[in-house]
Amino acid sequence: MKDHVAPHQAPLRPPAQVMRLSRMGSMFPTRLSFLRTLMRFLAAEKAQVSRPVWQMCPEGYGHAVYALSFGGHTYSLVAVSTALAPEDRTDRVIAEAWDSSYVLYDGVPDADEIARMCATAPRQEAARFTERDLVLSRANKSVRLFQHVVERLRAGQQPDRQMVGEIGYLMRTTAVYGNGKFGIADRSCIDTRPGLSGPFMAEMLTVWLIRQFTHDLVEHVGQGRLDRDLKRHLGIGNSTGLGMAPFLVTHPVLLNNWMLARETALARVRAVRHLEPERAVRLVALADRARRHLAEWCVPDAAHQARIDRLRADWVRFAGGITAKALAEEGALERLIRASGTQSEDLQELLVALALEPFPELVDGLADCMADPVGPVAAPLADTAQLRDEIACHFGWALAPDYADAAQCRQFWYVSEAKQEPRLGDRFAEEGAALESPLDIGRRIKALFLDLPERSEDVRAFLARSPEHFLAVARVALAAGYPYAEIRDNLIGAGCLPIDMLRCKLAFFGASKFDPKSDRWTRITLCQGAPLADELDRRADDWWLPVFDA
Amino acid sequence: MSWSGAEVSALAAKAARGAGAPAGQAALFGQAAALHLQQGRGAGALAEALETLPEGPIMDLPLVLQEALPVARSGGEIDVVWAGDVALAWSYLETMPYRCDVELERPGGLKVRFSPRSDARPRAQRISGCEELLHKMATLAAKTLVPDSAASRSGGAGAGLTDND
């Protein structure tokens, strides 16, 4: 960890508790979420967004360029808005046309470069891009809200606040591609630059600028100005599916670093024995904000709404104990966190996110530890006896299931021919299990364990004889140094819900208002409550669990 | 046309899987292949490595890394015995998170000095001039894809509701 003067901290929550799917699927955004980190950085840099190009017809089709400079570099978002027939509008990855498309560009594009991106961005995966192109994205309108806002603005009125509150965005992105996809720049081209060294920073910057574009576009078409508070509440939606889930399995070091930073932050906060009065007041206010946020969080899915309803009720009861008087007692925060142990994981994780919020000096520096600048540094395993010991020590969760049981291997991950979309199939009802993607880490670890020789031997000799275990050995080798690297659940079991993996990753992005449409994909809102481009100097960091002050 | 290191790495890994390599070895080949091409070490060794599966360097070079790892971690020199393409072996060694200087390249192996690497990975170079290899890789990678079906489509993001809401 890069924090050289480490504050006191309580013990970390063990990976066996933290790295379970159900808990990961209960996570909330925190002040370590990437969008929060980015906003703080842009504010510290006094970054100013300009719009040097706006070539848009009255109906809102054309292109625009936004630019901002920070850390010694200038970045530009090229936004292209195109007409789209209703029958062509789909959030699916397999779509081939969108309402709008975007490129985050390294520098200030000249006319030729703008023309190039206006031609390629709308084609997305079907086009090729250059190393000046850092991020590629696209977004579709929330037709209902976009049309409504346009009509109201044209009539000289503001949109219906309830509708703005319910939907929360004018457009939703359906993909945000970084790190070399389709020829764009490798992450290593920018990962030492100030402001972009953290994970997904270029992608978050893109999303924030897209949100600004959606505001400008609706005002352009509606020929009016949105009230500032409405605009601030209009984030950017996103549809996220299974494509995001494998990332957490295939990037164990990153997953470890994200979780370890968050758990270290919590451990530091738990070690705080005395809360200053102003800090206690802040916690009480934030607990109330969380209550109002939960009250505004409504989703169409009945099961998920019931879960939100339970959390609302539980939180009202629990947060009743979060008072300035109670927090004035020594060790109050630790007691509160301990008391939450009897509550649901949803409530526990909400409390974790709340507890971090008033402690920027203990938490924010940990954001510097969330990238993976050098790659996995695994300790060599001396022999198969050590391998066996490591598995027994760290992988009990992997050894427990009987993977021959149909319920324990019901699902298989694979990549579809259709736009190479990651998907999840039923092993016993669908074709394709022979081409299964290697996300079955638990099963592989157990197979390795069962194949280890009784007499210890050199790991290399074992792998020469059993090369199919190479991946499992590599994961075991990581375990000692990266305790939060593995999701400690059976990812091919019938009970595996990919939505839990999505929520974990999206919470790290800073998403809120999770709106699951199945156990495999969700809509979310990003940047809701985030500062507008001209507000970075005023309210860059106070938008945790935003509420709409209707 | 030029390619990013990340897309070549991903493509090479899928190609190795499509050609029959186990997942771990395939992923490592992906990393090494991108480095190999970025360093201009020639596409021939990569094509040959894919052709010789289920044997050959994609299976054997990961074991070489296993042997080199203790030395790499502590820093120091090691004689790497390798009868195959030494440039490809070098590319594999460079996938490790340590600085790797080849002091002597000779038939039958390399003498390598490892030292701690500075904070960040070196900036990736663009890859070009290897279209034939990439085409071959794409063909092999396609063998890992599952044909589209109605059942599989039903679970993806955006499935099951109107998008004009």
Please state the three-class secondary structure of A27-76 as a single string.
CCCCCCCHHHHHHHHHHHCCCCCEEEEEEECCCCCEEEEEEEEECCEEEE
Domain that holds residue A365: 251-372
Q: Evaluate if residue B165 carries a pLDDT over 90.
A: no
Say yes or no: A42 and A120 in one domain.
yes
Yes or no, beta carbons of A416 and B152 under 8 Å apart: yes
**Same domain, yes or no, for A282 and A363?**
yes
User: Taking CA atoms, what residue in A is nearest to B127?
Assistant: A183
Q: Do you find a cis peptide bond into B54, omega within 30 degrees of 0?
A: yes
| A136 closest CA partner among A123, A147, A155, A149 | A123
Q: What does each of the 550 residues of chain A score in pLDDT, given as a tens digit?
A: 555 678 899 999 999 999 999 999 999 999 999 999 999 999 999 999 999 999 999 999 999 999 999 999 999 999 999 999 888 888 777 788 999 999 999 999 999 999 999 999 999 999 999 999 999 999 999 999 999 999 999 999 999 999 999 999 999 999 999 999 999 999 999 999 999 999 999 999 999 999 999 999 999 999 999 999 999 999 999 988 888 899 999 999 999 999 999 999 999 999 999 999 999 999 999 999 999 999 999 999 999 999 999 999 999 999 999 999 999 999 999 999 999 999 999 999 999 999 999 999 999 999 999 999 888 888 889 999 999 999 999 999 999 999 999 999 999 999 998 878 889 999 999 999 999 999 999 999 999 999 999 999 999 999 999 999 999 999 999 999 999 999 999 999 999 999 999 999 999 999 989 999 888 889 999 999 999 999 999 888 999 999 987 4
d(CA B144, CA A515): 32
A98 φ, ψ (degrees, to nearest 5): -145, 165
Question: Is A514 contained in some domain?
Answer: no
Does residue A342 sit in the same domain as residue A196?
no
Confidence at residue B155, expressed as pLDDT on a 0 to 100 scale: 61
**Interface contact A192-B120, CB threshold 8 A:** yes
Give the pLDDT of residue A92.
Answer: 74
Please report the pLDDT score of residue A550 as a whole number.
Answer: 43
pLDDT of residue A277: 95
| A546 lies in some domain | no
- Residue B162 — very low, low, confident or very high, per pLDDT cuts 50/70/90? low
Whether A44 and A192 map to the same domain: the answer is yes
Q: Which of A74, A106, A77 is closest to A184 using CA atoms?
A: A106
Residue ranges of E strands in B57-119: 76-81, 99-106, 109-115
Give B95 to chain A, closest Cα distance, Å. 9
**pLDDT value at residue A135:** 98
Domain presence at residue A47: yes
Q: How many domains does chain A have?
A: 3
Contact A415 B147 (CB under 8 A): no
| Yes or no, beta carbons of A188 and B119 under 8 Å apart | no
A438-459 per-position pLDDT tens digit: 999 999 999 999 999 999 999 9
Q: In sequence order, what are the beta bridge partners of B114? A: B76, B100
The Cβ of residue B90 has, within 10 Å, a number of other Cβ atoms equal to 21
Structure tokens at A275: 């809360």
Q: Tell me whether 0.85 is exceeded by the ipTM.
A: yes
Are A58 and A24 in a shared domain?
A: no
Tell me, yes or no, whether A102 and A166 share the same domain: yes
Q: Are residues A400 and A447 in the same domain?
A: yes
Residue A532 lies in a domain: no
Contact A472 B63 (CB under 8 A): no
B65: nearest CA in chain A? A460
Interface test with A, best of B17, B95, B118, B163 (most A CBs within 10 A): B163
The DSSP bridge partners found for residue A54 are A64
CB-CB contact of A181 with A187 (8 Å) = no
Residues A352 and A454 in one domain: no
Judged by CB atoms closer than 8 Å, whether chains meet at A174 and B120 is answered as: no
B129-149 pLDDT, tens digit per residue, is 999 999 999 999 999 999 887
Whether residue A75 is found in the same domain as residue A224: yes
B6:A186 CB<8 A: yes
**Chain A residue with the nearest C-alpha to that of B73:** A379
Residue B105, min C-alpha distance to chain A (Å): 24
> What ranges do the domains of chain B cover?
5-116+130-143
What residues of B are in contact with residue A202 (Cβ under 8 Å)?
none
The band of B157, judged by pLDDT with boundaries at 50, 70 and 90, is: low
A421 touching chain B per CB within 8 A: yes
Same domain, A389 and A326: no
CB contact under 8 A, A425 and B67: no
Residues A99 and A235 in one domain: yes
**CA distances to A16, A266, B92, B157 from A517, in Å:** 29, 31, 43, 8
Same domain, A56 and A191: yes
By CB neighbour count within 10 A (0-12 exposed, 13-18 middle, 19+ buried), where does A162 fall? exposed
What letter does residue B121 receive in the DSSP assignment? P
